Amino acid sequence: MKEMPKVGIRPVIDARLGGIRESLEKSTMDMALRVAQLVSSNVKYFNGENVECIVADNTIGRVPEAQKCEEKFLKEGVGLSITVTPCWCYGTETIDMNPTRPKAIWGFNGTERPGAVYLAAALAGHAQKGLPAFSIYGREVQERDDETIPDDVKESILQFVRSGIAVATLKGKSYLSIGSVSMGIAGSIVNEVFFQKYLGMRNEYVDMSEINRRLQKGIYDKQEFKKALVWTKENCKEGENRNPEKLVKSRKKMDEEWETVVKMTIIARDLMIGNPKLKDMGYGEEALGHNALAAGFQGQRQWNDYMPNGDFLEAILNSSFDWNGIRSPYIMATENDSLNGVSMLFGYLLTNQAQMFSDVRTFWSASSVERVTGYQLQGKSSDGIIHLINSGSSTLDGTGQQTQNGKPVMKPYWEIKEEEVKKCLNATDWPPAMYEYFGGGGYSSHFVTKGEMPVTLCRINLVDGLGPVIQIVEGWTVELPEDVHKILDNRTDPTWPTTWFVPRLDKEKVAFKDVYSVMANWGANHAAFSYGHYGNDIITLCSMLRIPVNMHNIPNEKVFRPKDWASFGMDIESSDFRACKNYGPLYK
């Protein structure tokens, strides 16, 4: 993996010497340093380290100084930039001209030599040159000697940085396709144009026979396997076997399947990121891995019909812990649904939290629930619920057993405590797979997500003639009485993990007038979600990549896109489509 991308801070200044520039040098550089401190103190990479900022060596007043800054940024691995100024400067002479680097400008809102005037001039230059940039402009006028960063400016800077870091992190990484298309699911038809031109990512491919080869030839760390198997037996309790008697397997065969799924997990991780221990075993090429930030496992059906399914490997890799302790999750998509894998990846890079992979399975109206169970939905659930469920691969973080201030949450791995890991494991059991679906056996994770967690769902879809679009829904998990849950859950596959979800409704938006409309407008059978309401960050991220948003319930005041988008009309959704089409993918 390459080094983490850095945030470049560009202090620009009025270039007129003879008193003007000299009087502004300190205040301009101090402004840059304050922004760097704000960013490094509030944003972390997915590995838990504070985001690093690179400040230009000098203030930037003319083109030679802008180029000197650019050379430093390229050398230091800067992935996004923030230009700051308290004063008027020479517009197009001082802007960031890098065509694929997300960029923003904060122009100080003051009345003496106002940076806001430069902001307007520079943004006009960006628009004219086809280099979209974000405008950061404080609502209130500040005094010339005011060194505070207003709260609204802080919010815009941090939202820009969170999204820009995600964009920069994607660049140069790989999506690893383990297998090919699963059961005709469109998302598992890996579209290289999308990955390369919109995300700047490589595509890597491994046939599922490679997993079998490594199983048969023992190409995995034997010591780690022993450790992993002991941990699995101690922490992953086997659930109820719901298979009919005629299909039940011997205890010996089921134990062999446990060993196989543990080995598969180690092998899939090694395929993604490599493992230096394989080199010591004489497998130097295998030790390299595929530089994969995300991957997908086809499974169904060519694998699952005769081998244990991928549910365990997907669930454990997607979790923030395993036999090696608490660690960052690995993004692994079920059924090689690469589009849902990317949706998970967006959420992961924006929140640093594990991501749930779920089927958007069933809308249950209040009347349907009452008819089937006799129970009347209440509170947030009163307008109906959506059943999110998947074939056992969802992250164990999704149990909701991690807590903050006594409430269920999902945390970045560095905030998770050992006792919370135990609670997640204790809340999960692993029923044998239903053999009529999964002839090769295996074990599926099974739990029910705790209620009252704010969560954000998203999903990328590809539309012929249009390209990628994304859907975003903020809402909450909810809990049902246990007997009601069981009645509803038993109508599908009760060996899989369940989340009951309700979206935040908005009568002004057609797709959010009721819960049914959200379900009816969802674009595919899968979705990704995690803890918190961060749909605004996804919108910002997608504007950087030129992916329009075709469905969301985010308040308009939280939508933050490049200033150029305002040139494409006053309706913020239709202008998003026009702007994305006009500029094209980031890496075209």
Instruction: Consult the annotation and say whether 526 binds a ligand.
Output: yes
Q: Cα–Cα distance between 588 and 583 in angstroms, integer?
A: 9
User: How would you classify the pairing of strands 331-334 and 292-297?
Assistant: parallel
> How many secondary structure helices (H) and strands (E) does the chain include?
19, 20
> 3-class DSSP state for residue 108?
coil
* CA 432 to centroid of chain Cα atoms: 30
Measure CA of the first residue to CA of the last residue in the chain; give whole Å: 24
| Whether 335 contacts 304, CB under 8 Å | no
d(CA 102, CA 121): 18
- Which candidate, 396, 407, 391, 577, places its Cα nearest to that of 479? 407
434: phi then psi, degrees, rounded to nearest 5? -75, 115
The answer to whether 318 and 341 have CB atoms below 8 angstroms apart is no
Classify 257 as helix, strand or coil: helix
CA distance 569 to 464: 24
Name the residues annotated as catalytic: 335, 359
- Pairwise CA distance, residues 4 & 191, whole Å: 26
Kindly state the tokens that stand for 510.
């057609």
Q: Which residues contact 518 (CB under 8 A, 6 or more apart)?
A: 386, 473, 503, 511, 512
Chain CA centroid to CA 119, Å: 31
Distance from chain centroid for Cα 274 = 22
Q: In DSSP terms, which residues pair with 469 in a beta bridge?
A: 461
Q: Which residues of 159-184 are buried (b: 16+ CB within 10 A; e: fewer)?
A: bbbbbbbbbbbbbebbbbbbbebbee
| DSSP symbols for 140-176 | S---TT-----HHHHHHHHHHHHHHHHHHHHTT-EEE
Q: What are phi and psi of 50, to 5 degrees?
A: -65, 140
Q: Among 160, 192, 562, which Cα is nearest to 342's? A: 192
Specify the amino acid at residue 397.
D
- Determine if residue 335 is labeled as part of a ligand binding site: yes
Exposure class string for 297-311: b at 16+ Cβ within 10 A, else e: bbbbebbbeebbbbb
Range 578-584, long-range pairs (CB < 8 A, 24+ positions): 579/132, 579/543, 579/546, 580/543, 580/546, 580/547, 580/548, 581/548, 583/130, 583/132, 583/546, 584/546
Binding residue positions for Mn(2+):
335, 359, 526
